[in-house]
Amino acid sequence: MLGHAMDLQNRVALVTGSSRGIGRAIALELGRRGASVIVHHRRNSTRALAEAVAQELRQIGRHTLVIKANLVDPHDVAQMFSAVQNAFGKLDILVNNAASAVFRPLLQLEEKHWEHVWDVNLRAIVLCIKHAVPLMSTGVIVNITSLGSIKYLPNYGALGAAKAAIESLTRSYAVELAPAIRVNAVCGGLVDETSFSELIPSEVKERVAQLTPAGRMVKPGDIAKVVAFLCSDDAEMIRGQSIIVDGGLTLGLLP
């Protein structure tokens, strides 16, 4: 058995947007390492997916709770953290993973699109952290960002700007919430087996895999393992960083 198995025992973790994709993988990885995990989703239609994640966690003996909340609604966010407090009495780990985007060239984005991107990807994180901190005597916050924070990606301008802002906030929170709460970000490359990667033609994904020094695209589990590491005591001295998990894709200047 690996040294880190069950190192998150007795920790309570909330992973936003964990009904599917990367959030699901993070919830399951934290659970495998011993944490109780709150599975969060937004829509009625994803309730069954969230329940399935919770069921997987129960099968390995973890305490879990499914919470539906629209993170752009302050009332929903407040209720979500009340439910966490009522069920577990504390929070040790918050993973801000939920995201939603409008993929268009910048000049085609309307006011409502900007509002949506800021509200879901930025304001919601600020709100979640505000409610989480009183429940965390010590703990870890991990924000999930993407290469759009540092690179140009077609139609990704709005979400990229939000991700860059999250990485900036990560540094500020890391200082302002220290020493008890550690804050870092995990910046993912193009992640296969997600709703986003499903939109990408297979020949483009093959090209990305070829250009990736690791020899394949990143998978949700790759992100989840780095998040779990940042949540572990081994990462005590890592603060305010955005760890790129892209298999080395962005290292090359020329293909």
Ligand X SMILES: NC(=O)c1ccc[n+]([C@@H]2O[C@H](COP(=O)([O-])OP(=O)(O)OC[C@H]3O[C@@H](n4cnc5c(N)ncnc54)[C@H](OP(=O)(O)O)[C@@H]3O)[C@@H](O)[C@H]2O)c1
Q: So which residues are the catalytic ones?
A: 156, 163
Question: Distance between CA atoms of 18 and 83, rounded to whole angstroms?
Answer: 17
Nearer residue to ligand X within complex by CB, 25 or 181: 25
Tell me which of 11, 65, 84, 97 binds ligand X, using CB under 6 A. 97
Residue with tokens 């483009």: 204
Spell out, one character per residue from 178 to 207, where the chain touches ligand X: x when CB under 6 A holds, - when not: ----------x-xx--xxxx----------
CB 112 to ligand X: min, Å = 14
- Which of 182, 248, 236, 178 lies closest to 212 in space, CA to CA? 248
Q: Does 166 bind ligand X (CB under 6 A)?
A: no
- Packing angle, helices 157-176 and 124-132, rounded to 10: 20
CB 156 to ligand X: min, Å = 10
Question: Distance between CA atoms of 242 and 209, rounded to whole angstroms?
Answer: 22
CB 110 to ligand X: min, Å = 18
Q: Does 219 bind ligand X (CB under 6 A)?
A: no
Q: Does 22 bind ligand X (CB under 6 A)?
A: yes
Query: Cα separations (Å) of 44 from 66, 77, 180, 218, 251?
Result: 12, 16, 36, 29, 41
Query: Cα separations (Å) of 19 from 67, 194, 223, 234?
Result: 10, 12, 16, 28
Residue with tokens 């709460």: 181
Tell me which of 8, 37, 67, 71 binds ligand X, using CB under 6 A. 71
Q: Which residue is nearest to ligand X (CB)?
A: 21
- ∠ Cα 8 21 191 (to 5°): 100
CB 195 to ligand X: min, Å = 4
- What is the size of the binding site for ligand X (CB under 6 A)? 27
- ∠ Cα 26 167 143 (to 5°): 20
Contact 97, 26 (CB under 8 A): yes
CB 30 to ligand X: min, Å = 15
Structure token digits, residue 141: 């916050």
3-state secondary structure of 177: coil
CB 3 to ligand X: min, Å = 27
Q: Does 151 bind ligand X (CB under 6 A)?
A: no
Q: Does 157 bind ligand X (CB under 6 A)?
A: no
Spell out, one character per residue from 35 to 64, where the chain touches ligand X: x when CB under 6 A holds, - when not: ------xxx--x------------------
Tell me which of 99, 140, 181, 226 binds ligand X, using CB under 6 A. 99
Chain residues in the site for ligand X (CB under 6 A): 17, 19-23, 41-43, 46, 70-72, 97-100, 120, 144, 146, 188, 190-191, 194-197
